[in-house]
Structure 1
Amino acid sequence: MAAQSTPRIWSLTWPIMIEMMLQFMLGTADTLMVSRISDDAVAVVGISNMFFNAVIILFTLVTSGAGILIAQKLGGGKPDEARQIGIMSVSITVILGIIISVLLIYGTSLFTTALHVPDNLKDLSHTYMSIVGGGMVITALNLSMSTAVRNTGNTRSPMYIALGMNILHVVLNYAFIFGAFGLPELGLMGVGISTVISRTAAFFFQQHLFRHAFGAPVLVREFGRFHAKLLKEVLKIGWPISVNGASWTFSQVVIFSIIASMGEQPLAARTYMNTMESFAFTFGWSLALAAQIQIAHLYGAKKLRQAYYSAYRALGFGVIVVLANTAVLLLFRTSIISTFTKDPWIIDMAVSLLWLNLALQPGKMLNMALGQSLGAVGDSRTVMTYSLPSMWIIAVGVSYVLAIPMHWGLYGIYIGMISDEYLRGALCYFRWRKHRKKLLFAAAFREDVKLSGRSNGNDAVPL
């Protein structure tokens, strides 16, 4: 079977970027509408979504590894194995999704207590978490199917589905919050119902897309088949990515709690900065994800020289773009920040922190581009080994020491975060360089073998 042609980096990047930007903008609109209910409702949505994001990381144990292997298998001309991996990832994540949905429907009181939700918010939290959490099985299905489709090189279709889902969610939010279009005014309960309905609508499109992503339509009976060897490959790549993602999420929660202990103004300033920084690095993160798909295809196709240098091309272009985005923020800094708040302390602090982004964003790009590249060739365990100590010792530990005992405040937090990004990025760089000899030597060897007429086209290069 001939290898699938390698998708171009830009054709992969722009749909991912648009999808992320739309989710970011529509998520902001969602928050603004919920604020019309009450500040308590916003707090409940914020706490609940933080928890749901942590839960979703569990699904990446399977979906992330499956996505990389699907790209590798298609690049290597093994569509049947790619198909089997995609089907297995959906089957396993739906089982996990059912278990989590049941737990969240009947066990919300345990989770709200664990999250230290204030007593006056517990009833509201129970309502929202049980509705949205009860639909977590739909979230699992959407995530596994969209990841599989995206790694076949089709990043446009998941983008269109995400666009439609988010628009429907905002429209239904408006309807249920304000009682529009003849629907009842349900408040936060309506927001939860809106979330489940929009995700369910997206599922019907996702399943159609998934069924036809691997040639012949996927049949229902295929979901009961498990292939131990392929599943082992998926988990080998997926579990380090999942652990790494969970660690990053919880380290950010701890950092936010450190900032919260400093007072309302620093917390507000960091929250606004988080929103603005999302604009700066969204394209960089999209490019890193696209590079991972492309490199996995190239690696599977044994185009090793191209795979190696693709990481550097993505890194170089990404650094230029994130710096350009940061420059735009700096150019219009006062106008942008003033749309969020009129507090002079927060405005001055945010302006100062924006300058630090000139150092932060290239470090993020270095870390993202090379970290995703290592994952693309199956070296996700090394990334996890480097990342966990850096996240907790540097990002959390150094941030705390500089911010609290040394009284550097948010400047200390940013120094800790910048140091963490560059340390992890540098470690990923040196690890990628270690693969240089293996990849380039193997590429040269394959070219020599082909020239001598002795190649059978199946020379594997383990990493």
Structure 2
Amino acid sequence: MPQKIKDRKLTLFALTWPIFIELFLHMLMGSADTIMLSQYSDHSVAAVGVANQILNVLIVMFGFIATGTIVLITQNIGANNNKSALEISQISIAANLILSIAVGLIVIIFSESMLKMMNLPADLLPEANYYLRLVGGLCFIQALIMTIGAVLKSYGFTKDTMYITIGMNILHIFGNYIFIYGPFGLPVLGVEGVAFSTVASRFIGLIVISYLLVKRISFEQKFRQVFKLPVSHLKNLLKIGVPSAGEHLSYNGSQIVITIFITMIGAEALTTKVYAQNLMMFIFLFSLAISQGNQILIGQMAGAREYDRAYKRCINTLYWAIGMSTAIAVVFSISTDFLFGIFTSNPEILQIGATILLLTVILEPGRAFNLVIISALRATGDVKFPVYMGILSMWGISVPLAYLLGIHFELGLAGIWVAFIADEWLRGILMLIRWRSKVWVNKGFILQSQKAVS
């Protein structure tokens, strides 16, 4: 039987720093594609950027099970229900395997149609289509890595997923070097090589993380018996995961619409957006990492009914996330020329990028509210409110305001970034009000099941 989180006396810092490094390396893997492809072709950067935006939407379809996995396992551990925690681990892995295979088949069949819906320029379509079909068609690899990683994190083994990510990054960057630069007379494959490198490094990562799962956690049932486990576990996964997926799908869907707006502005604007978002990922990295560590602890506290501790933990975490994200955004804004110079020497892109990173100083504190508090609400079982408010703000504020400012008033990317700011801050304030109201108390799935039995 795996050792309980609370018995291992893990603190927020102990949970967060490996997650931080893991997320940093995940983002570095994506940025490595962008940086290395930028030496090959700006058009290739745009093609892969649009393909990845579609993949981000599709990944949400199986990412919601991983989200529910962390909530349910941590709540069960907090309530000392170790048998249920193990059963949930098995069900989540099996469910995501089946779902992600189906998603992969859809991508293979409809990849070109998806890219055309994005209003992608015709000269970018062949490269984007190849990348989307290969990486998206084999998305079950990423789905399993996500789910197994969620299980390991729930038990406090955040270092394991960190080490896996380090290895995957080394392999991926080496593969990119081989296929983009063609050393020793090897053929230069560009986007095709990046796609193959991505899939190969993930496949090796899947083998290693599967080994660690078996080593760390002793399953009482074999995986072939997964269909005999309680159906209630799958229902609870869906109760948490489906609304959470709705929030992510809404966000990514709105981003796709806004990307279509950006294609109306021009190819330089689209490329600038890809470069800017690669840089911004490193700005909100701390908030994202600390929100995930915070979620694990609050899920455990909710399962143990330690609501006052959970409330204070979230507020303290929020202060740290806001402070760090703001400080990093300021540093990035000051270093605009150097940072964008890593990707390109195009003066138009450099000029637009400077404005975007300046606006990011206002954007990122608002994003910190959402990352930290939404994950905390989800950990307690309060999953619907963030979805309703997210859909309202993204489609009622972000999308129409992006068109109004960016296209109608011809403010370009700067106008679209102002729309992002309005969306993040509105949702962030609403999430803070929700957390302070303590409506989330007694929404935990463990507590609800105990009431049902009594």
TM range (shorter): 0.7 to 0.9
The superposition leaves residues 347-388 of structure 1 with CA deviations (integer Å, 9 ceiling, x where unpaired) of 444434433333222111112111111111011111101110
Segment of structure 1 superposing worse, 117-126 or 148-157: 117-126
Question: What is the aligned partner in structure 1 of residue 78 from structure 2?
Answer: 75
Deviation per CA, 1:254-309: give whole Å up to 9, x if none: 22322332334544444443233222211111111111111001111222211111
State the AA in 1 paired with 2:148.
Answer: M
TM-align CA RMSD: 3.0
The sequence identity of aligned pairs, in percent, is: 32
- Unpaired segments ≥5 residues, structure 2: none
Q: Does 1:20 align with 2:23?
A: yes
| Aligned residue-pair number | 445
Summarize the Cα distance change of 1:155–1:218 in structure 2 as closer, same or farther, 3 Å threshold.
farther
Whether the 8 Å CA contact 1:62–1:93 is kept in 2: the answer is yes
Task: Indicate the residue corresponding to 2:246 in structure 1.
Answer: 243
In 2: Cα distance, 1:215 partner to 1:288 partner: 28
2:260 and 2:293 map into 1 onto residues whose CA distance is 33
Match of 2:432 among 416, 429, 434: 429
Distance 1:275 1:116 in 2: 21
> CA 1:62 to 1:356, structure 2 compared with 1: closer, same or farther past 3 Å?
same
Where 2:238 maps in the other structure, the secondary structure is: helix
How far apart are 1:122 and its partner, in Å?
4.6
Q: Any idea what SS the aligned residue of 1:212 has?
A: helix
Match of 2:153 in 1: 150
Map of 1:371 onto structure 2:
374
Structure 2 distance, partners of 1:121, 1:328, is: 34
- In the TM superposition, 1:227-242 aligns within 5 A as 227-242=230-245
Of 32, 52, 67, which aligns to 1:29?
Answer: 32
Helix, strand or coil at the partner of 2:438: helix
**Structure 1 unmatched ranges of 5 or more:** 443-457
Q: TM-score, normalised by structure 2?
A: 0.88
Q: How does 1:263-342 map to 2 (within 5 A)?
A: 263-342=266-345
Equivalence for 2:87: 84
Report if aligned partners of 1:366, 1:425 keep a CA contact under 8 Å in 2.
Answer: yes
The change in CA–CA distance for 1:274 and 1:70 in structure 2 (over 3 A counts) is same
- Contact map agreement 1:3 1:301 (CA 8 A) in 2: no
Deviates more, 1:259-268 or 1:234-243: 259-268
Pair 1:345–1:168, CA change in 2 (3 A): closer
Quick check: 1:211 aligned with 2:207? no
Looking at structure 2, the residues matched to 69 and 306 of structure 1 have their Cα atoms a distance apart, in angstroms, of 19
1:25 CA displacement: 2.4
Q: Which has the higher contact order (CA 8 A, sep 6+)?
A: 2
Q: Does residue 190 in structure 1 map to residue 190 in structure 2?
A: no
Distance 2:221 2:167 in 1: 24
2:268 and 2:49 mapped to 1: Cα distance? 18
Structure 1 residues 333 and 121 mapped into 2: Cα distance closer, same or farther (>3 Å)? Answer: closer
Give the 3 Å change call, closer, same or farther, for CA 144–79 of structure 1 in structure 2: same
Find the partner of 1:49 among 48, 52, 65. 52
Partners of 2:25 and 2:88 in 1: CA distance = 29
Counterpart AA for 1:190: G
User: In the alignment, is the contact (CA less than 8 A) between 1:383 and 1:428 conserved in 2?
Assistant: yes
TM-score, normalised on structure 1?
0.86
Q: How does 1:372-451 map to 2 (within 5 A)?
A: 372-435=375-438, 438=441
User: Is the 2:92–2:147 contact (alpha carbons within 8 Å) kept by the matching residues of 1?
Assistant: yes
